[in-house]
Amino acid sequence: MENSLLLFSLLLLLLVPSSAQMPGFVSLDCGGEEFFSDELGLDWTPDELRYGEATSIEVLNETRKQYTSLRHFPADSRKYCYTMNVTSRTRYLLRATFLYEMRELIFLATSPTVSVCLSNATTGQPFISTLELRQFNGSVYFTAYEEHFYLSVSARINFGADSEAPVRYPDDPFDRIWSSDSIKKAITL
């Protein structure tokens, strides 16, 4: 009896390593070629988009694999979109990075998919490094206006931080990124 229980839990361990990932987390490595887990334990997936062009790049002091590739698109008048599955009526953090710059917002999914599109409105050839979705639970970030507006971030500061390293997943279960207050000083409002 004990042996078969042990065998059962061993089998379970063998069968479910990938579901250790937080539910509702999607991490796309744009222009990437392989699946991998980063040092935080987040699972990255190559974007496998049919359009645009994947490129490997070298950035000084950047060793994180997801930033060693990007995807760029023609500087034409078209929009190039990533469409991702979401759970309708659920709130998500959406974070896109463009090498040196991060943009993020929090929105309520109102349909089963969300599209993120790039175009060269002002800056020429559009490119993207990563695209991340982090699902919230319960009523976190509920607002009365969420059907029509998204939330943007002013600042997210970890006061009293003991190092310059940001706090994020797994310390923050939703992988929000809290900058150390030794780098990011409080804003005077």
Ligand X SMILES: *[C@@H]1O[C@H](CO)[C@@H](O)[C@H](O)[C@H]1NC(C)=O
Among 3, 19, 63, 77, binds ligand X (CB under 6 A): 77
Using the minimum distance from each CB to ligand X, give the nearer residue, 12 or 121. Answer: 121
Distance of closest approach, residue 1 Cβ to ligand X, in angstroms? 33
Distance of closest approach, residue 2 Cβ to ligand X, in angstroms? 32
Cis before 170? omega within 30: yes
Query: Would you give the binding string for ligand X spanning residues 25-64, x where CB under 6 A is met?
Result: -----------------------------------xx---
Is residue 23 part of the contact set for ligand X (CB under 6 A)? no
Using the minimum distance from each CB to ligand X, give the nearer residue, 23 or 189. Answer: 23
Is residue 120 part of the contact set for ligand X (CB under 6 A)? yes
Q: Which of residues 157-186 bind ligand X (CB under 6 A)?
A: 173
Pairing of strands 26-29, 43-46: parallel
Please report, as ranges, the residues that interact with ligand X according to CB under 6 A: 60-61, 75, 77, 85, 120-121, 124, 137-138, 173
